[in-house]
Amino acid sequence: MNQKTFIGVVNPVKDKMYRLALRLLISKDSAEDATQEVLLKLWDRKNKLKDYANIEAFAMTVTKNYCLDQLKSKQNNNLKIVHTNYESQDRSAFEQLETNDRLKEISRILETLPEQQKLIFQLRDIEEYEYEEIAKVMNMNETAIRVSLSRARKTIRIELLKKDSYGIK
Amino acid sequence: MELNKLESLLKRYDDGETSLEEEKLLKEYFHSGKVPNHLKEYKMIFNFSEEEKKIHHPGKIKLKSRRKWYAIGLAASILIAVGIFTFQENEQQNFSQNELGTIENPEEAYYKAKETLQMVAQIMNIGKQELVYLDEFNKTKNQIIKIK
């Protein structure tokens, strides 16, 4: 596999990888770094890559694992703390704009979900993967995925409802 | 879509039982028209999913390992360090080899020295002119803090 075909294969997936990384790592820079690192890893393994039947699912799995490792490692924990500090400072200002920009609300709710639910919501509702594909990426069975997804969807809606009725009731 | 059908679809969506086609139908429905007030959270969620899908990776893919660049950077900095070191070495030798007192005639030497010192003094004065501004600090300070 030469560079051109590799980029051809990987190009349609890289946005999905970036979005997945962004969902987990939150910071744009970290997400970009993560995508870059994972692509390099795949490139280093390009000869084995044709053995993997579904490159997209494989790329997403590697991205997921890389990001989870990043979150576990101390290095990124520092980043994470810095970032949440920043977010919480932003919060009061944000609340004034709340009515204008409700979509960010959902991002914030998503941030509070467990990693597994974040990932599954991302893969299903945003990337529109089949359950079979999600099962491969997450290394879980489909029933467990449905349960986790259902929890995520319900939590998001309930949190939104709470925000809505805040100040009314 | 009729409200009955919609609500049963949403119920199944909540339970994670809808197929991708059904979810697409829902997305289309919530994207297009007016939505009953009690379902507006769903509208937000589906809009959110659509918006998130528009995020793209900002950079280009770089396949060259960064480690190579580290190696090149390291090599370059070693080269520069060695270069500076040898250069300084030469410089020092030149300096000690040059004879310093080249003027034999004492009177000429006196004038030369005087000329040089004059020049230095002039440059010093030009530099000192700029220091006038420092007085402004003192003036302002004295206005605020009065020291007897």
A31-58 pLDDT, tens per residue? Answer: 999 999 999 988 888 877 776 668 889 9
Q: Do B15 and A150 touch (CB under 8 A)?
A: yes
A71-101 pLDDT, tens per residue? Answer: 888 555 555 544 544 444 444 554 445 434 6
What are the CA-CA distances from residue A128 to residues A4, A11, A167, B23 (Å)? Answer: 27, 18, 35, 9
- CA angle (A78, A79, A81) in 5-degree steps: 65
Question: Which amino acid belongs to residue B129?
Answer: Q
State what percent of residues in chain A have pLDDT above 90: 46
- Nearest CA-CA distance, residue A85 and chain B, Å: 24
| CB A148 within 8 Å of CB A120 | yes
Q: Do B57 and A40 touch (CB under 8 A)?
A: no
> Which of B43, B56, B61 to mutate to test binding with chain A, by most A CBs within 10 Å of its CB?
B61
pTM of the entire predicted model: 0.65
Using DSSP's 3-state secondary structure scheme, residue B130 falls into: coil
In this complex, the residue of B44, B56, B57 whose CB is nearest that of residue A103 is B44
Separation CA A103–CA B41 (nearest Å): 11
Separation CA A49–CA A16 (nearest Å): 18
Q: Residue A1 above 80 pLDDT?
A: no
Where helices occur in B33-65 by DSSP H, the ranges are 40-52
pLDDT reported for residue B22: 93
In this complex, the residue of B15, B42, B51 whose CB is nearest that of residue A103 is B51
* Structure-token match 């003094």, residue found: B121
Q: Is A6 on the interface with B (CB under 8 A)?
A: yes
* Structure-token match 């962004």, residue found: A22
B46-105 pLDDT, tens per residue? Answer: 888 888 888 888 877 777 655 667 788 888 999 999 988 888 777 666 655 555 667 778
pLDDT reported for residue A116: 94
* Structure-token match 């197929």, residue found: B19
Q: Mind giving me the DSSP string for A85-117?
A: HHHHHHHHHHHHHTTT--HHHHHHHHHHS-HHH
A11-28 pLDDT, tens per residue? Answer: 889 999 999 999 999 888
- Nearest CA-CA distance, residue A82 and chain B, Å: 23
pLDDT reported for residue A88: 46
A-B contacts (CB, under 8 Å)? 81
> Which of A7, A157, A159, A168 to mutate to test binding with chain B, by most B CBs within 10 Å of its CB?
A157
What are the CA-CA distances from residue B43 to residues A90, B36, B37, B106 (Å)? Answer: 26, 10, 10, 98
Separation CA B47–CA B68 (nearest Å): 44
pLDDT reported for residue A144: 95
Q: Of A158 and A85, which is predicted with more confidence? A: A158
